[in-house]
Structure 1
Amino acid sequence: MVDSTHTTTPAWWRDAVIYQVYPRSWADADGDGIGDLPGITAHLDHLVALGVDAVWLSPFYTSPQNDAGYDVADYRDVDPLFGTLEDFDALAARAHELGLRVIVDLVPNHSSDQHVWFQAALAAEPGSAERGRYIFRDGAGENGDLPPNNWQSNFGGSAWTRTTNPDGTPGQWYLHLFDPSQPDFEWNNPEVQEEFRSILRFWLDRGVDGFRIDVAHGLHKEEGLPDSPEDYDLAIHPTGHQPMWDKPAVHEVYRDWRRVVDEYRVEGQDADRILVAEAWVIPDEALARYVRPDELHQSFNFGYLMTPWRAREQREAITRGLEATAAVGAPQTWVLSNHDVPRHASRLSYDIERATRVLGIGPDHPQPDNELGLRRARAATSVMLALPGSAYLYQGEELGLPEATTLPPEVRQDPTFVRTNGEDVGRDGCRVPVPWHADQPAFGFSPTGKSWLPQPEVYGDLAPNRQDGVAGSTLELYRRLLAVRRKYGLGRGELHWQEAGDDVLAFTVTGSGGRRVQVVTNFGAAPLDLPHGELLSVSGPLDGHRLPGDTTAWIAPG
């Protein structure tokens, strides 16, 4: 038996369902083929009807867009591609009017190389205050011709790029754990620390309800920047075994930030401003350190996202996740899809050996079985939304959108595709603009029919106007799950495992007022007899009164 942390604290974030909007792919109001803030505002009613508690916006800041906005040139303004600060204020005001909280992305590990600080650093001398805001080092080798260490970029190739001095001679090297256009900040520098306190307050003063922190585990690097171990294996080594990830000093940053956001709490109101970590950290106990009482509020459980679709592994992942956060008094934060991984409606269709694939899927890969993938995705979401804690949904998953796997090379924009010479096709496949209306240009995404990435034809059949009110549609399933989750208080409940067969996941969640919901997922081929009670939700058609494979049911015990 595993009991999640049960609390009477009214803090909204402990069981919130938060919906991620990727601004360039949500809705285009001005017709240029790229989504924008007014487009988001125009469709907030969709989120209210869905039943979520908050919306998280991926970056919309001033940026050259080399990495879709995660290369920030100005942290206090809106890129004209997406609108203006006034458009953001209108969005936030409308969201709050509708009862939705607003979370914005924050990118503290690195800036754009077009940021005024980095441009000043390039123009300054080695050892200067300007260069001290970033990580510059002399090169290795007799003439400094080699990178300072062996670190590799997450986007492929070396994590170091050499500068050129004003006289044309080779200069120092700078660190970028991602694209060369994204130089890493030096977080030991007090000026960097104070700058981000100021950025937090800027957006808090505009009324945001929280921040999702990009690369939260990467801010501090190991002193001396030693080489990364050649034998590092993510499957067996803790993330902190690498010199660039999960260093103890990052926790001091988040204790500092927690003090900042707590300044904006309103006594007697459920008005916490929250901090959410994107931290690809293992094991679960290391990840749980980020959500200790004086640090962050939430941290995505990516281990759960990557868990194979098999009963035993699913139970183990859920158990580990709940135990790890319960030990520090925090809720668990569940997620199955986002803007960095293939959509789970396609990813889950692969066999066990490929079920954890998080790299992009291209036209030359084995193609997903989208019918099987959607059936499993609906079942998996039905498990996730029953679990105690908070949950995040990615735009379009409530429509059952599959990954766009056949994008041709000439339309791809992810820097990963370029830096790996196409060996990794990148993340464009999960970022294709969402459909709104099957019979409109670009399926309602843009009034002109433009779309910055081409939409698969199947997206039209999955548009909301084809699913709204249709019994058994994925959209109506999500609405039903979220309504029942809220009614029974499942996010604040306690989970108890039930013994079942090798191909069955079964548990009960005791929610608000002691009401119980029994959750059963059949991973096998043969249908199962349903437990007695009221059928609250089922992820797919029943076989008479039996539960088919790859299907999840919620039952109120009789």
Structure 2
Amino acid sequence: MGRMADVNDPIRSDWWRHAVVYQVYVRSFADSDGDGIGDLPGITARLPHLADLGVDALWITPFYTSPQHDHGYDVADYEDVDPLFGTLADADDLIARAHELGLRVVVDLVPNHTSNEHEWFRAALAAGPGSPERARYLFRDSPEGKPAGTPPNNWSSVFGGPAWTQVDDGQWYLHLFDSSQPDLDWRNPEVPAMFEGVLRFWLDRGVDGFRVDVAHGLFKEASLRDQVVEPGGTPVSGAGEMVERKVTDEPMWDQPEVHEVYRSWHRILDEAGPDRMAVAEAWTQTVESMAAFVRPDELDQTFNFAWLLADWSAESFSEVITSTLASVESIDAAPTWVLSNHDVMRHVTRYGGGAQGLARARAATLTMLALPGSSYLYQGEELGLEQVDVAPEDRQDPSYLRTGEVGRDGCRVPIPWGGTEAPYAFGPGTAQPWIPQPADWAPLTVEAQAADPSSTMAFYRDALRIRRDFAWTAGEDVTMLDAGDDVVAFTRGPVTVVLNCGTTPVELPEGELLLASGPVDGTLPPDTAAWLH
């Protein structure tokens, strides 16, 4: 089976069910003008790399007008392109060129909050307490009977510190992220109406789908009550920290009213065509609550972060596979799988770094790509990039600036395209990009790996090429096999997948070897996976 050549092919109106989607972090993908920051023309020029790699779609992080306090996730105008990244005409050119190459385009939508420079928030500050302008956001007074400097509740920001900022007239506004990102009040009918217009604006320009940022966060409990914490404990709202500390009270997340929003969006997407989709970033407590976002009349997919959060072990991976598939089976939704993105440590480093980390990363990727549903890849993982230890003076993540703790900059370093020193053809000129690149990346560039048949990029190309032969024909049933405590093994249609998470080689089952993540000689070495027919 070859690459999909026509993005309007009616046979594939549900193209996302088994797609491989490549995440482009716009600032760090490719720079066309030499300012050290990636942009839309840069992406357009590098689209052939994605087509050659064999992915089906690209998801582009926010490129809208923004003061860039959170690198685009603080939106000041949802219907224009920030001059840092180009123009609306550049966006149109990107979409058209992607479609020529058979690639779908998914854009990021940020509905939980705006920038504090959005015209709505500026109007809210100017209008004062009790005004219709403030009613678009979550402005509140200090609690009765408490000092004027007391926040309305005890919630914390995902980026650290309190989730409330006080303005000059004494009221407070909620921001579950940075103080430059005030949360909208989705119970105000003006808010959903505005975003329905934004959806139609970009659908009319030809985008194929939306990635919905903080999809679980639009509604908060109406009372805005305190979060319940253990005696002596502190409030927490970050998903990973909540899981780690087993915090289950979340009045700021996953409220039932959010699902009516996605039912209305489903209707808008259907009006635009049967091949338009939306995928939720929804950090929920259970796979069952995650599955609620992809009921037949809501969104098409939701990110499944269970594997990303799992330890390197056969038991953990097998549990993720079985629980994820069980959660979506009853509602006929397509599962998703992801190992890295712009918010987490790159999985080569997460799995130990160095040669072992890379071997494990390739093995986990091969296992993931064999599963039914969509796989989301993060730019640079096809090059085997590790997390970079960014110098403190070069860090720009708002979570680092708020807390002093190392944030997400290390996975956002611009990717290397060619040459032997920075900026590795990231853009014209010789200056380092917005986050400096390491001095030892020359062997990892796209140019260097294209000439090496044993490179990680060659491995990704082979895996995606072979995957296309069975992705749509192998069915969606997975049968787990008992191959030992340290081995993940399953069949899907004619394909058998084996992943050795242990420390000693294991026997391979009978069958034709389609691909392995590393050298295989009769047995499957540790930290290696294989596909067999």
Same fold (TM over 0.5): yes
Contact 1:238 1:282 in 2 (8 A): no
- CA displacement 1:135-178 (0-9 Å, x = unmatched): 0000135442100000000000000000003xxxxx20000000
Report the equivalent of 2:529.
552
* Partner residue in 2 for 1:297: 300
Q: What TM-score results when the alignment is normalised by the length of structure 1?
A: 0.89
Q: 2:349 aligns with which of 336, 346, 350?
A: 346
1:15–1:390 Cα contact (<8 Å) kept? yes
CA RMSD of aligned residues (A): 1.6
The correspondence of residues 201-216 of structure 1 with structure 2, limited to 5 A, is: 201-216=200-215
Percent identity of the aligned residues? 58
Say which SS state the counterpart of residue 499 (structure 2) adopts. strand
Where does residue 519 of structure 2 map in the other structure?
Answer: 541
Asked if 1 retains the 8 angstrom alpha-carbon contact of 2:497 and 2:529, the reply is: yes
Residue in structure 2 matched with residue 384 of structure 1 by the alignment: 368
- The question of whether the paired residues in 1 share the 8 Å contact of 2:229 and 2:247 is answered with no
Matched to 1:417, the amino acid is: Y
Q: TM-score, normalised by structure 2?
A: 0.93
Deviations 1:46-80 (A, max 9, x none): 01011111010000000000001100000000000
- Letter of the 2:227 partner, please give it: S
SS in 2 for 1:519: strand
CA contact (8 A) 2:78 2:198 kept: yes
Equivalent-residue separation in structure 2 for 1:523 and 1:32 (angstroms): 44
Is 1:507 paired with 2:506?
no
Q: Which amino acid aligns with 1:147?
A: P
C-alpha distance in 1 between matches for 2:185 and 2:385: 40
Please state how far the C-alpha of 1:440 moved relative to its aligned partner: 6.2
What residue in structure 1 maps to residue 392 of structure 2?
A: 409
Pick closer, same or farther for the CA change 1:74–1:28 going to 2, 3 Å: same
Runs of at least 5 residues in structure 1 that lack an aligned partner in the other structure = 1-7, 166-170, 266-270, 350-368, 511-515
Helix, strand or coil: the match of 1:164?
coil
The answer as to whether partners of 1:436 and 1:445 remain within 8 angstroms in 2 is yes
Q: Which residue of 2 aligns with 1:221?
A: 220
Aligned pairs for 1:12-31 (under 5 A) are 12-31=15-34
CA distance in 1, matches of 2:112, 2:528: 40
1:74, 1:403 → 2: CA distance? 32
SS in 1 for 2:531: strand
Counterpart contact for 2:418–2:446, Cα < 8 Å: yes
Q: Name 2:381's counterpart in structure 1.
A: 397
Task: Tell me the CA shift for residue 381 of structure 1.
Answer: 0.2
The separation in 2 between residues aligned to 1:302 and 1:489, in whole angstroms, is: 21
The aligned runs of 1:523-538 (5 Å cut-off) are: 523-538=501-516
SS at match of 1:380: helix
Select 1:159's aligned residue among 150, 158, 163: 163
Structure 1 residue 30 displacement after superposition: 0.2
C-alpha separation in 1, matches of 2:198 and 2:475:
32
Residue 459 (structure 2) aligns with: 477
SS of 1:241's partner is: coil
Q: 1:444 aligns with which of 425, 437, 444?
A: 425
Which of 57-66 and 9-18 deviates more? 9-18
Alignment partner for residue 66 of structure 1, among 65, 69, 93?
69
Q: Do the aligned residues in 1 keep the contact of 2:514 with 2:531 (CA within 8 Å)? A: yes
- Residue of structure 1 equivalent to 2:87: 84
* In structure 2, distance between residues paired with 1:315 and 1:192: 41
Q: Secondary structure at the match of 2:172?
A: strand
CA distance in structure 2 between the partners assigned to 1:476 and 1:206 by the alignment: 34
CA deviation after TM superposition for structure 1 residue 11, in Å: 1.3
Query: Are the counterparts in 1 of residues 106 and 210 from structure 2 also a CA contact under 8 Å?
Result: yes
Letter in 2 for 1:217: H
The AA in structure 1 aligned to 2:430 is G
Specify the SS of the correspondent of 1:443: coil
Q: Which residue of 2 aligns with 1:486?
A: 468
Does structure 2 conserve the Cα–Cα contact (< 8 Å) formed by 1:240 and 1:247? no
AA paired with 1:38?
P
Question: Which residue pairs with 1:317 in the alignment?
Answer: 320
Q: Deviations over 1:359-393 (max 9, x none)?
A: xxxxxxxxxx3221111000000010001111100
Instruction: Classify the secondary structure of the residue corresponding to 2:122.
Output: helix
* CA deviation profile, 1:232-251 (whole Å, cap 9, x unmatched): 88349998731000000010
Letter of the 1:259 counterpart: R
Runs of 4+ in 1 over 6 A off after TM superposition: 236-240
CA distance in 2, matches of 1:49, 1:93: 17
**Secondary structure, in 3 states, of the residue corresponding to 1:43?**
helix
- Distance in 2, Cα, partners of 1:28 & 1:49: 20
Distance 2:313 2:303 in 1: 21
Task: Report the 3-state secondary structure (helix = DSSP H, G, I; strand = E; otherwise coil) of the residue aligned with 1:309.
Answer: coil
Distance in structure 1 (CA, Å) of the matches to 2:245 and 2:344: 22
Give the structure 1 partner of residue 97 of structure 2. 94
Map of 1:50-449 to 2, 5 A cutoff?
50-140=53-143, 141-165=145-169, 171-231=170-230, 234-235=242-243, 241-265=249-273, 271-349=274-352, 369-405=353-389, 407-420=390-403, 422=404, 424-439=405-420, 441-449=422-430
TM-fit CA distance, 1:527: 1.1
Instruction: Show the counterpart of 1:168.
Output: none
Describe the SS at the equivalent of 2:242.
coil
What is the number of equivalent residue pairs in this alignment?
511
Q: Which is worse superposed, 449-458 or 56-65?
A: 449-458
